Structure 1
């Protein structure tokens, strides 16, 4: 019988401004050409609860876009359904550049196959703008659990089948899927406990009511460094300099448990191309700011790396998203993944 699998802090940015002047003949949308954009505040929808990596990344980006573009970029959290609720809000918004989405691997790739016909939007309903950051996932446990390595966790779970809970920031997220991959690869049973975001999930792990969890590294790293959570492994091919003493899942004997989260900006599909390109150029400039990456790297962040110079642009992000949809779709199909 196939196992059921459900996939799915802070930093400041600073750098020279990028001069983008209006050009004659640029397309119009919502009464605005890109040359006059933005002329009013922009809403940045985060499809997960506050305090998680999606929210942290969005607020970092919003701060820098506001500074560079001269209008407020306001973060709005619309959590639920593994990111689908907030993503659908943007997919159905006016395509004028004033409603943007902080998209993730979950609602931007995994969920299309996972939810199937229940998905309220499709890939063609959203336009890719730029990839902001990639991050490792980290597997960690409550301090009261008597394990200090991933191998010890596997042994403990085998000796105590179905005794452990494993938390994630929501059913259908990449964090849920990473936990399910762990169970599949290790041949262990743990009950998945989904939360409406990383903040409430980590609170339960620190309190000992959930013993094991998976999260994106940036939102968990502060608790790990302060000793409130015990990290067992990161899910990337190489160790992260942010936690150099924490081994990879491959080093722990589980190379199949590999997953890298990502966070980028999408807009409604019919947003005028000049606005998409303008925003994409701003994001590319932001991810190349040295001060940004000194701090994001300390949190475990990795650069987009979509263009030869390590940056991002709308076309490269589009190709990346399509490849992620195909990759995770195959994982969902092979694993028998589903959501209730």
Structure 2
């Protein structure tokens, strides 16, 4: 049977319309991404720096992607539990990880066996913030300056204890850098995240810690004393607070870049879209204010620049860990 040209054209237009060939061609039936909620795993407890950053970017991401971004806290083993969950999740663009720099740059040098390889099994998506760690001391310690505190620790070897976000966390390694540079002796008390460590510091159960920002809110009230920043240079938010190098303790740099990762194999177009949307979210005034309160700085980067920064941090931390002989069972 032959159809008039106008009827043939109408039939073709109808049959070729999007969605009508779903039963014939699977690719044509593919839904645009995203078409359901996105899970953002945080591999540290609620209340810490990673959790604060995740909750800071999620509203902007939800608005841009027109889908809910659900925060899923999966703490444990210095980020390994949550990192493993994301590394083994489907690479379909619906599961991402917001993690500390230490969990990807430090863990591989400390743990003899890990259930996943952060380099091979995770894809860098977007940098979120440069996070600094600050030396906070409980007011029961009489030292009121960095130099006085160093002298006090030397006078009381093994008597003071310090908390951290866990074995191998950036706050832990920063404290080890501090001890090694100053030839100091203090007892490490690891916690399952920075928030519980901060709680015990406020209670005086530990005497000091290198805090990734949440503890700074307690300095003005006198509940904690801020003595130094473990960075290569002073923080803009605290221009009067010295670096450890200014007290003669060289090579103490606990800065790290917190960012978002996806399971390896996630489609590049999705990774690129997430990078653009996260960078756009970082320009928001409220988010910048929240990061500023943590004593850090928003750090929008391209995917390549983010990966390169992590490689630099990985080399820096790896070198120190090998020299210091630090291991975690």
Please give the TM-score of this superposition, normalised by the length of structure 1: 0.84
Name the residue aligned to 1:209: 205
Corresponding residue to 1:41 among 15, 37, 42: 37
The answer to whether residue 294 in structure 2 is matched with residue 327 in structure 1 is: no
Moved more, 135-144 or 224-233: 224-233
8 Å Cα contact 2:53/2:291 also seen in 1:
no
Offset of residue 278 of structure 1: 0.4
SS in 2 for 1:250: helix
* Displacement of 1:261: 2.3
Q: Does the 8 Å contact 1:81/1:172 carry over to 2?
A: no
The superposition leaves residues 151-177 of structure 1 with CA deviations (integer Å, 9 ceiling, x where unpaired) of 212111111110000110111101100
Say what the alpha-carbon RMSD is for the aligned residues. 1.8
SS of the residue corresponding to residue 132 of structure 2 reads strand
Partner of 1:105: 101
CA offset at residue 270 of structure 1?
0.8
User: For the structure 1 residues 277 and 212, does the alpha-carbon distance in structure 2 shift closer, same or farther, using more than 3 Å as the test?
Assistant: same
Structure 1 residue 215 displacement after superposition? 1.3
Structure 1 distance, partners of 2:83, 2:290, is 28
SS in 1 for 2:106: helix
| Post-superposition CA distance 1:121-147 (Å, at most 9, x none) | 111100010101002110111111111
1:174 maps to: 170
Q: 1:64 to 1:297 in 2, by over 3 A?
A: same
Larger radius of gyration: 2
In structure 2, the gaps of 5 or more residues are 1-25
| Counterpart position of 2:195 | 199
Q: Which residue of 2 aligns with 1:276?
A: 271
Please name the residue that 1:256 is paired with.
251
* 3-state SS in 2 of match to 1:140: strand
Within the candidate set 139, 142, 151, 1:143 is matched to 139
Residue in structure 2 matching 1:288, options 283, 302, 306: 283
Question: How many Å apart are 1:315 and its aligned residue?
Answer: 1.9
Residue 15 of structure 1: aligned partner? none
- C-alpha contact 1:168 1:214 (8 A) present in aligned 2: yes
Q: Is the 8 A contact 1:32 1:96 kept in 2?
A: no
Matched, 1:336 2:320: no
CA drift of 1:291 comes to 4.6
Distance in 2, Cα, partners of 1:69 & 1:258: 36
**Is the contact between residue 112 and residue 325 of structure 1 (CA under 8 Å) also seen in structure 2?**
no
TM-aligned CA deviation for residue 227 of structure 1: 2.0
Aligned-partner SS, 1:225 = coil
What residue number does 1:227 align with?
222
CA distance in 1, matches of 2:191, 2:44: 10
> 1:80: how far off?
1.0
Q: State the secondary structure of the residue aligned to 1:251.
A: helix
Q: CA shift at 1:243, angstroms?
A: 2.4
Q: How many residues align structurally? A: 302
- Counterpart residue number, 1:265: 260
How do 1:77-156 residues align onto structure 2 when only pairs under 5 Å count?
77-116=73-112, 118-122=113-117, 123-156=119-152
